[in-house]
């Protein structure tokens, strides 16, 4: 089975449990189980090849230019983790079917579980770190849904938010570290990165990359000081705890440490950061676990401790420690998942997880007692169970590890961790299952049906078998996975057997077990001391930190985002100027290669007019009408400049846009005060003048530098000039670019234009029923109005000009592919012709003669443009590729025709519809259908009373 399919199956199967929930809980569970089983079988098909040392690969170049390739690979390490994810996932699906109540939305649960499962499989099989990062964040999101599955519980919602906050923040840091790592290696593919150890460790960016990556790994695997989120995530249903927080999610960080071990390990930085963090986490988690009275809290902190143990082993940087870490990953997944499920059984049957309310359950729940006892003894490191073997290997390695010149610090602290580990394991057995039966259980405990205890029993069977026959059962898997961790080098000598003789590790183990028993006997006085001792509460610190960050963020946001556009513009432009200045100072600028051309009198006069109009507009911008006139002058001069510089298409577009814009803005200004109020202080205006002046001089200098220097290499313009006719069938390069070479951009632009017109329509539609329109209808002009709203000369002139203007628009449209023109300009000209009818004869007169709604015109334009683009697919060419040729229709002469004309027709219709819809929308503030058609600005009689009443109010 392809790795693509193995990674995709959980995502594909996640749809079915939610859909099948109406068919029953068994159908939903079966769909989830079948999906996981198929993926697991597909994985096992690769087992022989992987155990031989082969690496299975599947590659798909998605965006190679960005280094984002959908590449997967499966080696021993990936196979180990994928087996745990899918194998334990099957057991969790079975367990959850009988654990969850009928009130729980089981379909949603299995959907979330499969989404998480797919994300984890993606992490452990990704051969591209960018793809790995995507899956990494998906685990945070899907685990958020699982942890907060019981939404009715406040602690569930809080635990989900805490887990998402901590792991999400760590993921952001890891993204930075991974990008640095890929930049150093010159590739984002893991197989390339893993072969670049020398380059990575010699790079000055090694330490920043290492720290950022470790933050991501430590937060995901609940390492100190990020360990606090894991116990609060125990508010999730027990199947979630058993799956996420013992076998999969929390081991994602460990997987990352193991995966990058070949290129990041072996340095003092790696040793002191990773090993120290793991050692502290191991000891701290074990001590806290002993004094927790909640079963799942005890197991949560024990998980933190064992995750720290594995982290410490990987941090040692030796090959033997890497083997021990891989072995303990397997052992911990088996006994800890079984322990969580047994705790869930106790909670499910006794209706409490409080150890103080339990005891004597061995008489009432003998099957659960047997399962929990074997798993707990393995966690304590008691032979002949599998936990003893990896604990012995860990203790053996600590004896040979010195920290800061001390040979006793690491083994001493490791012994303390092992001692407390034995103590809380013994407490789990003694305080929950041993002792006399009680009469005050919240509910009468009894062993559940086989559906709940079969999964943990299977895991306990593995605990025993691995302990007795580890070399045969998991030996090849440990060797293959450990070989992948150490980069394919020769494995060190190790032996997976119970007896190694009288070694320091054995003596330390005996001390740990004996000390654990003593601590259990002294638990009550020690617990009183623990409860009375002052200590920081991670939850309180976290909540205080989040509250402080929220206040800081709100203060910054309120200070920056106050709704004032000048402030936003000032910040953006000032930042751009500063960045540009840095680029100028740190870069190089070659000497000019072009001389200035002679400038005639007319260009100088145009330039002077542009400066004068711009200056007056800045100085007199508070007078809105005058500012609008000056904007028109600026646009006119710019159009003349385009024409002078041999860009007639741009000149035609600019002048057409100016006319339409000025008319629409004049209509909008009709409903606004004539002057803009002074909103900025003198200091703010001086600031804005300074920023604008510096930015303007900078842009001018940049333009001057570009115009006086040649471009390095060929420009895209040469390609367009060469291929305009033979590739697009037109000699007007600008139009061919718009409708062919970059037709997709134009298609997006007409969609945006149509959306803008629809937004204007929606806003005016919403305002029409408010007091605003009543105010506008009853406002009194401050100056005398002309008696004739529709001068006869203007009415006659515009009606005569209408067919002429439309004929010009048609001429501009049809000539556009070979001469200056095109659909956009033609659309503006046609829109101007229709706007003139509104201006001359009134909105009511024009609207009564409107045959087609402007919404439909916009939609027709977009659909025609889309259909033209899709048509190219039928000929096997890319979207919007033009076809052209010569056509002879009698009695017409032979003429050229290109499919780009149809696309241009779509542009034409979209432009006409958008402009006229905006015009009609604004006009409705002063006119409503049904009003007197003799006057363009007549008030709707039906609204007179309402308007007068609202105005008086």
DSSP 913-929: HHHHHHHHHHHTTT--T
Evaluate the omega torsion of the peptide bond into residue 384 and state whether it is cis, within 30 degrees of 0.
Answer: yes
Per-residue tokens: 939: 């008030």
Q: What is the pLDDT of residue 942?
A: 35
Return the pLDDT at 500: 77
Tokens of 786: 């002309």
Contact 5, 59 (CB under 8 A): no
Tell me how far apart the 2 most distant CA atoms of the chain are, in Å.
Answer: 116
Q: What CA–CA distance (Å, rounded) separates 131 from 141?
A: 16
The whole-angstrom separation of Cα 70 and Cα 129 is: 10
At 675, give phi and psi (nearest 5°).
Answer: -125, 145
pLDDT digits (tens, 9 = 90+) for 559-603: 777 777 877 888 889 999 999 888 888 878 888 888 888 888 888
* CA 921, chain centre distance (Å): 38
pLDDT digits (tens, 9 = 90+) for 520-547: 999 999 988 888 888 777 778 888 888 8
Query: pTM score, two decimals?
Result: 0.71
Which residues of the chain carry a pLDDT beneath 70?
A: 65-67, 247, 773, 776-779, 781-787, 886-896, 925-953
* Total count of residues recorded for the chain: 953
Closest C-alpha to 748, from 899, 881, 903: 903
Distance CA 30, CA 44 (A): 20
In this prediction, residue 841 carries a pLDDT of 83
Return all residues near 657 (Cβ < 8 A) that are at least 6 apart.
635, 828
Q: Which of 894, 26, 82 is nearest to 481 (CA)?
A: 82
For residue 606, with 0-12 CB atoms within 10 Å meaning exposed, 13-18 middle and 19 or more buried, which class applies?
Answer: middle
Q: What was the pLDDT predicted at 491?
A: 87
Instruction: Look at residue 705 in the predicted model and tell me its pLDDT.
Output: 87
Structure tokens, 227? 């360990």
Contact present, 910 and 861 (Cβ < 8 Å): yes
Signed CA dihedral, 481, 483, 486, 487: sign only: negative
| Cα–Cα distance list, 243 to 95, 175, 249, 251, 921 (Å) | 11, 25, 8, 11, 58
Q: What are all long-range contacts of 704-708, with beta carbons under 8 Å and residues at least 24 apart?
A: 705/589, 707/594, 708/592, 708/593, 708/594, 708/595, 708/596
Cα–Cα distance list, 515 to 158, 289, 372, 428 (Å) = 37, 16, 21, 16
Cβ atoms 928, 920 nearer than 8 A: no
- Are β-strands 72-74 and 884-887 bridged in parallel, bridged antiparallel, or unpaired? unpaired
Answer whether 256's CB lies under 8 Å from 169's CB: no
| Residue 243: both structure tokens together | 């799956």
Q: Looking at residue 890, what is its pLDDT? A: 66
Alpha-carbon Rg for the chain in angstroms: 37
Residue 948, pLDDT score: 39
At residue 779, the pLDDT reads: 67
Residue 887: what are its φ and ψ, rounded to 5°?
A: -125, 140
Look at residue 952 in the predicted model and tell me its pLDDT: 38
């Amino acid at each position: 089975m392809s790795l693509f399919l193995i990674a995709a199956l959980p995502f594909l199967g996640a749809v079915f449990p939610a859909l099948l929930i109406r068919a029953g809980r068994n159908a939903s569970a079966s769909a989830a189980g079948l999906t996981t089983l198929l993926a697991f079988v597909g994985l096992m098909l690769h087992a022989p090849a992987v155990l031989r040392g082969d690496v299975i690969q599947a590659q798909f170049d998605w965006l190679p230019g960005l280094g984002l390739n959908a590449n997967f690979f499966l080696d021993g390490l990936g196979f180990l983790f994928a087996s745990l994810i899918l194998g334990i996932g099957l057991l969790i699906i079975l367990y959850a079917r009988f654990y969850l109540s009928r009130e729980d939305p089981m379909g949603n649960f299995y959907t979330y579980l499969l989404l998480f499962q797919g994300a984890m499989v993606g992490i452990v099989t990704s051969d591209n770190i960018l793809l790995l990062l995507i899956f990494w964040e998906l685990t945070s999101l899907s685990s958020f849904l699982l942890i907060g599955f019981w939404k009715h519980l406040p602690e569930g919602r809080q635990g989900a938010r805490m887990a998402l906050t901590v792991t999400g923040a760590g993921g952001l840091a890891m993204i930075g570290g991974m990008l640095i790592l890929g930049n150093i290696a010159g590739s984002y593919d893991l197989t390339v990165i893993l072969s670049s150890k020398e380059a990575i460790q010699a790079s000055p960016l090694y330490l920043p990359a290492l720290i950022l990556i470790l933050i991501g790994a430590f937060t995901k695997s609940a390492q100190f000081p990020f360990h606090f989120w894991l116990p609060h995530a125990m508010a999730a249903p027990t199947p979630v705890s058993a799956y996420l927080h013992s076998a999969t999610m929390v081991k994602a960080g460990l997987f990352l440490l193991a995966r990058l071990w070949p290129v990041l390990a072996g340095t003092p930085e790696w040793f002191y950061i990773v090993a120290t963090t793991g050692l502290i986490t191991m000891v701290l988690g074990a001590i806290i676990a002993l004094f927790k009275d909640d079963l799942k809290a005890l197991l949560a902190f024990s998980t933190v401790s064992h995750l720290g143990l594995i982290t410490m082993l990987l941090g040692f940087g030796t090959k033997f420690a890497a083997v021990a870490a891989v072995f303990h990953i397997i052992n911990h997944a088996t006994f800890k998942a079984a322990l969580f499920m047994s705790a869930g059984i106790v909670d499910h049957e006794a209706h409490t997880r409080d150890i103080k309310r339990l005891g004597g359950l061995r008489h009432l729940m003998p099957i659960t007692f047997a399962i929990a006892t074997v798993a707990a003894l393995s966690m304590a490191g008691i032979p002949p169970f599998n936990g003893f073997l990896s604990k012995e290997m860990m203790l053996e390695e600590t004896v040979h590890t010195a920290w800061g010149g001390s040979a006793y610090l690491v083994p001493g602290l490791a012994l303390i961790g092992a001692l407390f580990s034995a103590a809380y394991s013994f407490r789990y057995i003694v305080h929950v299952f041993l002792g006399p039966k009680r009469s005050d259980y919240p509910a009468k405990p009894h062993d559940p049906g086989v559906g709940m205890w079969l999964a943990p029993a299977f895991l306990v069977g593995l605990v025993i078998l691995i302990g007795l026959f580890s070399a045969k059962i998991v030996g090849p898997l440990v060797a293959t996975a450990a070989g992948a961790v150490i980069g394919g080098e020769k494995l060190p000598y190790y032996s997976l057997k119970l007896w190694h003789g009288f070694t320091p590790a054995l003596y330390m183990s005996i001390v740990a077990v004996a000390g654990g028993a003593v601590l259990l006997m002294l638990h009550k006085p020690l617990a009183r001391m623990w409860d009375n001792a002052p200590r920081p509460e991670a939850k309180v610190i976290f909540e205080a930190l989040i509250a402080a960050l929220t206040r800081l963020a709100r203060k910054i946001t309120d200070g920056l985002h106050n709704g004032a556009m000048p402030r936003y513009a000032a910040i953006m432009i000032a930042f751009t100027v500063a960045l540009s200045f840095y680029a100028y100072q740190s870069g190089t600028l070659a000497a000019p290669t072009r001389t200035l051309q002679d400038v005639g009198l007319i260009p100088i006069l145009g330039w002077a007019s542009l400066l004068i109009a711009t200056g007056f507009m800045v100085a007199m911008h508070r007078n809105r009408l005058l500012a609008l006139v000056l904007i028109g002058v600026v646009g006119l001069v710019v159009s003349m400049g385009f024409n002078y510089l041999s860009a007639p298409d741009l000149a035609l577009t600019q002048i057409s846009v100016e006319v339409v814009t000025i008319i629409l803005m004049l209509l909008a200004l009709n409903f606004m005060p004539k002057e803009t109020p002074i909103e900025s202080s003198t200091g703010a205006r001086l600031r804005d003048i300074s920023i604008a002046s510096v930015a303007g001089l900078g842009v001018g200098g940049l333009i001057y530098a570009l115009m006086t220097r040649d471009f390095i290499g060929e420009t895209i313009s040469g390609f367009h000039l060469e291929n305009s006719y033979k590739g697009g069938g037109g000699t007007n390069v600008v139009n061919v670019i718009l409708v062919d070479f970059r037709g997709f951009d134009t298609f997006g632009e007409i969609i945006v234009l149509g959306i803008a017109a629809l937004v204007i329509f929606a806003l005016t539609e919403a305002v029409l029923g408010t007091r605003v329109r009543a105010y506008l209808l009853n406002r009194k002009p401050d100056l005398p109005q002309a008696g004739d709203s529709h001068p006869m000369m203007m009415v006659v002139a515009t009606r005569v000009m209408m067919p002429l203007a439309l004929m010009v628009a048609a001429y501009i449209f049809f000539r556009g592919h070979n001469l200056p023109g095109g659909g956009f300009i033609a659309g503006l000209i046609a829109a101007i012709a229709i706007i003139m009818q509104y201006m001359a004869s009134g909105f009511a007169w024009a609207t009564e003669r409107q045959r087609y709604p402007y919404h439909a015109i916009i939609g027709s334009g977009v659909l025609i443009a889309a259909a033209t683009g899709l048509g190219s697919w039928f000929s096997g060419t890319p979207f919007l590729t033009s076809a052209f040729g010569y056509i002879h229709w009698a009695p017409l002469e032979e003429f050229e025709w290109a499919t780009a004309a149809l696309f241009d027709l779509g542009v034409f219709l979209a432009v006409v519809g958008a402009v006229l819809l905006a015009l009609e929308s604004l006009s409705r503030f002063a006119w409503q259908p049904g009003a007197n058609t003799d006057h363009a600005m007549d008030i709707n009689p039906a609204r007179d009373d309402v308007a007068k009443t609202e105005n008086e109010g």
